[in-house]
Amino acid sequence: MTHALIVIDVQNDFCPGGALAVSGGDEIVAPINSLMDEFEAVILTQDWHPAEHSSFASSHPGKNPFDMTQMPYGPQVLWPDHCVQGTQGAAFHVDLRTDADLILRKGFRGSIDSYSAFFENDQKTPTGLKGYLETRGIEKLTLVGLATDFCVHFSAVDAAKLGFDVTVRQDACRAIDLDGSLDAAIQAMRDAGVTLA
């Protein structure tokens, strides 16, 4: 059984000093780098938003970052502008190893956000990652990265629903923890059958 490491969104905007900084986001770079050689495949995901993305609070007059809004696909947190295509904020952390088998960009459709590495937030539009993993014969996944309670959580739950054997290495993740989102994410991952290590 081939085992892949999926590194979620270790980008400048999610690290200290970034537009949507996760506390301690840069602390996981060295542990992730040292894990990479233990896996048959390494996949990096990269949040890659067009300017004026619909999930940005700046695209909704009168709304502030972290407000909730209704999108055609359901409730959506509005974020500060972050990981805009081609900007320094969207780049991987300078110390992160990028010698990966695949770099998967997500969130590039202007009208829909994408937390999961497998589906857009409508839970229907696939990113293509499932097909890639199946073609490679990969059945076992270990997830690390940012942020535990959003992109790592949604990716892990979707992977488990798709039938992959999924582990999240909590020591190599960091969370935003917005209004109890970390506890809710941990419960959702457990309920989906994800191993939390």
Active-site residue, from 9, 13, 26, 81: 9
State phi, psi for 181 to the nearest 5 degrees. -65, -30
Tell me the two tokens of residue 144: 């690390």
User: Side-chain half-sphere of 168: how many Cα atoms within 13 Å?
Assistant: 31
How far apart are alpha carbons 87 and 25 in whole angstroms? 19
Active-site residue, from 13, 15, 149, 151: 151
3-class SS of residue 19: coil
130 is catalytic: no
Tell me the two tokens of residue 185: 């994410």
3-class SS of residue 196: strand
Instruction: Give 42's strand partners.
Output: 5
Active-site residue, from 47, 106, 113, 158: 106
Instruction: Give 192's strand partners.
Output: none
How far apart are alpha carbons 3 and 166 in whole angstroms? 10
15 is catalytic: no
Tell me the two tokens of residue 45: 């995901």
Tell me the two tokens of residue 36: 């990479």
106 is catalytic: yes
Closest CA to 89 of 127, 49, 44, 53: 49
- Residues with a catalytic annotation lie at 9, 106, 151
